[in-house]
Structure 1
């Protein structure tokens, strides 16, 4: 099928540039030499250079717009949908080369890796189909690798099957019957667990007891609108994943119904996908029986991608679209966020357009899309309808329960892993925000593109006029809704508010909100650059007056939207001759999407009605100006449930027949009453069943907690020095947790270079231009590396072994003061409510440390003022010592340093300690 390119092409003549915190090197055919940052920038500006992760190299050189031939882009083109850790070591492994032993060898490796990848392009590799076609488009976009690849990739003898012709179509199936009513035999559950763990695995009684308790969630329901709810706290190491998969898979097999396993983090979703190999070793069977589901915004939209490929994107974003198209032809599921699209790929493109390639705007036209039969989202939805195990997330489960289109295939059994996050997920799901950002998105959804905008965005009339205008009522409703939407904020609204010239009733309302928030700033936060908020009580006259006008505008918008929804429902009921299956699916999708917006506008009206009116004790309402480093990015009114577990119970739990809520820290630092309140159990007719399994790890001998007493709060040099000395003493392998991004960045700036000179790389969330998932992959891959970050790293990070042997927290993780927190604190017991939150956060952070029986580690808390009452957050028997920094460093060096002393050397701690 393919012609053969010219053999024995010479290697690329370009130099390779590598920059790290320890220095800068360039490699040419003559050899490798070090150079200054300024010289490196001059060379890169004048000569094409080979790079690995150009944004990261540019950041380290102080030249963010650095360009060159990025080997990550070349790998993404040649090896789409393949995993690679984006480091020199990961690149060497992917190319079959010897990894470098220090930074000075990396530049030479880049030249060898480029030669190896280009040699691959000269052959017939598995992902060759479509490469020549894609390269032609990339050549027109002047992609730096086009010339080198063009010499090596031959034109196919016949036309290639490319993206849209290559993707398979999904097929409709008969509706799945309701699950059969069965009762699980405890003996069969134990046998299934034994099969999953393997005959040679050690028998763990705690895991067997856990599986037996979890099976109670799969018993037949006996009370209407009340599930069999099991709350199960299983300490780290119990093996709860296989513990609940055993009864879940057995029930799905015997009943013929699906079990939805919901997580909070994408990391656990990936882990569950890997565990599926134990259930179904055959890959084809596994794909059919286990399906991962995420929200629509996670999947590539083929219509958006087609638009980008046909000129909707320009510049570097157009190159990204071409590389995503290469990936889309080989992806397993089309998941762009946490799937098999490399997490590092979008970050290579500053101001990238990756989010525009997904359906984040709710503009899907369903069966009206030319790619509907190949849509990844629709394929996943249909696959999950016939699957045994559906791996989802808390947000998707709640969205589907509240406004999903899949009511006929709604599951009856749920497993909520990471159940301690259910309360927070419900809080986000059932909240209301009337802000500039939210309202401008609604305007765009209704009216379509603003003048001069690019892309495929279409308004309500363009999407629905052909079906809604079945009679005059539908057409009039669309026209009235579009006209009323012009009262919503439009482009440039923030600037107009800053200039005191709002346009329209909603912008006027937001201007009144802004004025009142700044007027009530009592702590000087306006000058500090932080976000501002104030309670929605005692509004001034300007806000009350603006609320009245805004109410009339939103009511004028809501009425035609409701009429249009009813008209679409009538079209479905009348079933005219032209309505085939795809047309019905399109209208059903439009009804669901429109219903979501109707509910949103209705909630906005209820929130505005609170201005000048009585407070509703069920809700917490406030006004806010959101800012980042002093720059305003949103303004609005907010409403949250005081207890979001109430709508969680009503919407998700009551319709289910059985629910298992499980976590290693389910009780959130309190007792079972806390777990029942935060899971929604207290709002059900029947009490939940409780189960607890202690961790089997020997914490007294595997871990210790050191509370450092002589690092003064607010002393940034002392904080940075503490982190540097502790990381050096452990020889890397440190997870550093911060409660503020500013302090994280300040510490990183002070210590990264010094640690790098001792061979201890420091990765940083919110600093390195790399996504969080990839940062964790790099951290896991290198036992000498350390990673610092914020809340996202405190939970859901699974790094067993030497790569994580020390956890350092900058201080006690007290909750951030806010209007919402103050209301819940008052309702939840005052300081005891704060203590529960802190205990849960400490327990979650400590849980990152010991992940398997042979792990060893230390947990360091840099806070002299740590109250003793909070220390029961750590496992019983764990040694807890209050000590000075010097003693803590020495303790870490003696207990952890020897494990890697042959690599780290004893000089690192001393050299940084002197600094």
Structure 2
């Protein structure tokens, strides 16, 4: 067995322990930092340990890095219990036992490295590169790996190539009948499953979305509110899969959260038990920025990255050789891996700047993005997200394979997604990205990034007018902000017309700030109304600069289309694909610059009643990081209806909280239904859960608003009473951090772990995984957790909200509030948020728990957000603590009953 000279260090909120060959001893935080500085120590999640020791730059031999090297693309909960189970070691019973377990884990993993395992191929080659990058594990791991007798297939030689195929024929016109839907549903749920009337009614009703369309621009649209527990996922997969099978077309199932995307992927096993068939017929699609870019990765491996980023690149390369789909964000790349490197370099491994050269890339035939696009063209079910659906509809390249049948799950988020997609922002961050896209690296910039001239050099040599347009675009781009723009603006030394515009924006925002210095760490904004002369003058110069940029971009797009039409000898299949990609990318950028021009032209002129315009200075913890002019549609479902709904033949929009205590007129307006000729079909199925017996809503009346110590005490007492298993929701990051700082150590002394979004250096998805895995843990966070958490069972038995989630009083919200009923509009938003938060609590028929709202001023009119029959009580904190303790006991008994059964 391997022996290790290195000690192992474990730190939690309750203490610090060091284990070596002589045993385990408890240390002070200072002594632990000195020990880690004197000799390499074995750690589990170095950034987290460093944060708990108050030494963020702490480093050592991180077991998670070793695990990622040995087992790329394998899921693991990054906790002591998670890695112990993965290595078939006993789970430590207390914090004091963890350090010794970490040493034992390291020995077990190193022993495995000396043998044979399924991901061995490529490990020796990667270890040599990691040694050159000074990976701390390399001197220990390298000697245990046997050099292969023949050259290893690794990454670029290992990845398969995709094949071109003929375009898929248009879907056949078919009718999905009710009996066939119920038969398919029965097959999906299983022969022994309980027959649920609500699910059957849901399935047969939503099947009408797959009927043949009767009129142009008028889809068959069904809106279905299906309460938690109905089984709506299988309810709509039954008719969707049946239509796809009979019609030979694809149904796009769109979600808002990555959690639901993963759940849909798992449910696919019911449709297609064979893994190979499932991979071909169910495809997950995400935006380009989610996938590893092989060209960027190659650049990083060949010296484009240095230091710790170079180590991350090698570990990502190990993963890329084994990944199922190349998805770095929410796929099978461990979410905790980039966090170990403080995200140093991870974003540069994806295509976030729209610089893809398509067929001009040497890895084009192996590209994960292109493979997913081609796979989705022949799939039955495409699992996507709201943003991607809207992007594809508005400016997608895949015009011949555009879907005609959609299922929008989590449909209550469509308004939010459309608002983001169809908005415009002329800001420093946005404009500098366009400059970089056009001009490429400037000064001492290095890497593979190329400007327009380099990417289209062959076009410039073939088409004189195209070459002139490229040159004019590059010259015009010099008017956009360059590196260091924010510093120049803050110092009063802007350069160029756009920086001068941003400086004028900043001046007017601060002049009209009415906060009086309150919340100085947060952003400022003001309406774009009655602009001062400085802003009007700067806008006029900016408009000239933007027009000078827009014209050559439009000309270049036309010249590229002419090249495609001319089809010169050098225009082979790969060159054509590259130029087609450039045309699409140019169109996107030209649309963006055109929208900026329209926005600037608005300054000093009459307002457009369809839009809301405002000026903003973005700040984080007192530091300014962006300045801009913003425009949003007053009703963003208008462009959504035009781009997505009207061209579709069938649309299902469903959610457990589609109406959220309101009426169908409100729900229709939030998804764009009023912009269609024919109204949608409405369906409602109540949740089968016994909310009266399984849950309680407790409104705590004795916590004073703004009293942070009292708020922290309430959270601590409730979590202790529940024995963990609590989800805490906050409307402000600052209060979240304040509560965490006050109660984390206190809970640790009770043996309860507190996880915190925006505090722990762990991504949100991994925090939820840890929370789900440990019933004694609790998790606090903000809005992302209100919808992104699906934790059935005892791990979640208490939801605590810090107060009524009123909308933030922004310029945009004020305009929409005025246009949509004033106070009633606010109430609708609050009811939706309360309903979504309550929906985290009861996920199964045997779940029990309490929903606690720490607000003495919760209006009764908002309480229709909760399911009918749910007990709602106004109580003191003492009473809430006792009730929570009793419900936690019921949840424990329910878990024990399930385990016995």
TM range (shorter): over 0.9
Measure, in 1, the Cα distance between the counterparts of 2:770 and 2:816. Answer: 38
Measure, in 2, the Cα distance between the counterparts of 1:28 and 1:631. Answer: 44
Does 2:210 correspond to 1:218? yes
In structure 2, the partner of 1:128 is 120
Paired residue total = 896
Cα 1:527/1:889, change in 2 over 3 Å: closer
Measure, in 2, the Cα distance between the counterparts of 1:635 and 1:823. Answer: 21
Measure, in 2, the Cα distance between the counterparts of 1:81 and 1:655. Answer: 38
For 1:183-332, list aligned pairs within 5 A.
183-332=175-324
Measure, in 2, the Cα distance between the counterparts of 1:871 and 1:668. Answer: 10
Contact 2:849 2:891 in 1 (8 A): no
Does 2:512 correspond to 1:520? yes
Cα 1:20/1:775, change in 2 over 3 Å: same
> Secondary structure, in 3 states, of the residue corresponding to 1:27?
strand
In structure 2, the partner of 1:557 is 549
Cα 1:577/1:29, change in 2 over 3 Å: same
The offset of 1:669, in angstroms, is 3.7
In structure 2, the partner of 1:822 is 814
The offset of 1:287, in angstroms, is 0.2
The offset of 1:453, in angstroms, is 2.0
5+ residue gaps, structure 1: 1-7, 905-915
Measure, in 2, the Cα distance between the counterparts of 1:26 and 1:415. Answer: 53
Does 2:48 correspond to 1:56? yes
Pick from 55, 78, 84 the counterpart of residue 70 of structure 2.
78
Cα 1:605/1:669, change in 2 over 3 Å: farther
Measure, in 1, the Cα distance between the counterparts of 2:49 and 2:850. Answer: 33
Measure, in 2, the Cα distance between the counterparts of 1:116 and 1:271. Answer: 32
> Secondary structure, in 3 states, of the residue corresponding to 1:637?
strand
In structure 1, the partner of 2:427 is 435
> Secondary structure, in 3 states, of the residue corresponding to 2:809?
coil
Does 2:883 correspond to 1:891? yes
The offset of 1:11, in angstroms, is 1.3
Measure, in 1, the Cα distance between the counterparts of 2:343 and 2:824. Answer: 44
Does 2:16 correspond to 1:24? yes
Measure, in 2, the Cα distance between the counterparts of 1:28 and 1:399. Answer: 55
Pick from 84, 88, 91 the counterpart of residue 92 of structure 1.
84
Contact 1:808 1:859 in 2 (8 A): yes
> Secondary structure, in 3 states, of the residue corresponding to 2:462?
coil
In structure 2, the partner of 1:396 is 388
Contact 1:669 1:838 in 2 (8 A): no
Contact 1:681 1:687 in 2 (8 A): yes
Contact 1:85 1:91 in 2 (8 A): yes
The offset of 1:528, in angstroms, is 2.0
In structure 2, the partner of 1:834 is 826
The offset of 1:144, in angstroms, is 0.5
Post-superposition CA distance 1:519-543 (Å, at most 9, x none)? 0001224762220000001000000
Does 2:340 correspond to 1:343? no
Measure, in 1, the Cα distance between the counterparts of 2:46 and 2:445. Answer: 29
In structure 1, the partner of 2:566 is 574
Post-superposition CA distance 1:288-336 (Å, at most 9, x none)? 0000000000000000000000000010000000000000000000000
Measure, in 2, the Cα distance between the counterparts of 1:122 and 1:47. Answer: 24
Measure, in 2, the Cα distance between the counterparts of 1:770 and 1:164. Answer: 30
Measure, in 1, the Cα distance between the counterparts of 2:856 and 2:161. Answer: 61
Does 2:444 correspond to 1:458? no
Q: Which runs of 4+ in 1 moved over 6 A?
A: 901-904
> Secondary structure, in 3 states, of the residue corresponding to 2:373?
helix
Contact 1:707 1:864 in 2 (8 A): yes
Deviates more, 1:439-448 or 1:659-668: 659-668
In structure 2, the partner of 1:113 is 105
Post-superposition CA distance 1:809-860 (Å, at most 9, x none)? 0000000000000000000100000000000000000000000100000000
In structure 2, the partner of 1:630 is 622
In structure 1, the partner of 2:362 is 370
Measure, in 2, the Cα distance between the counterparts of 1:351 and 1:91. Answer: 22
Contact 1:526 1:532 in 2 (8 A): no
Measure, in 1, the Cα distance between the counterparts of 2:188 and 2:398. Answer: 31
Pick from 757, 763, 779 the counterpart of residue 765 of structure 1.
757
In structure 2, the partner of 1:42 is 34
> Secondary structure, in 3 states, of the residue corresponding to 2:787?
coil
Measure, in 1, the Cα distance between the counterparts of 2:405 and 2:886. Answer: 50
Contact 2:794 2:895 in 1 (8 A): no
Cα 1:525/1:212, change in 2 over 3 Å: farther
> Secondary structure, in 3 states, of the residue corresponding to 1:607?
helix
Does 2:61 correspond to 1:69? yes
Contact 1:272 1:391 in 2 (8 A): yes
Using the size of structure 1 for normalisation, the TM-score is 0.97
In structure 2, the partner of 1:529 is 521
For 1:586-625, list aligned pairs within 5 A.
586-625=578-617
> Secondary structure, in 3 states, of the residue corresponding to 1:802?
coil
Contact 1:465 1:478 in 2 (8 A): no
Post-superposition CA distance 1:15-74 (Å, at most 9, x none)? 000000010001111111111000000000001100000000000000000010000000
Deviates more, 1:547-556 or 1:571-580: 571-580
In structure 2, the partner of 1:5 is none
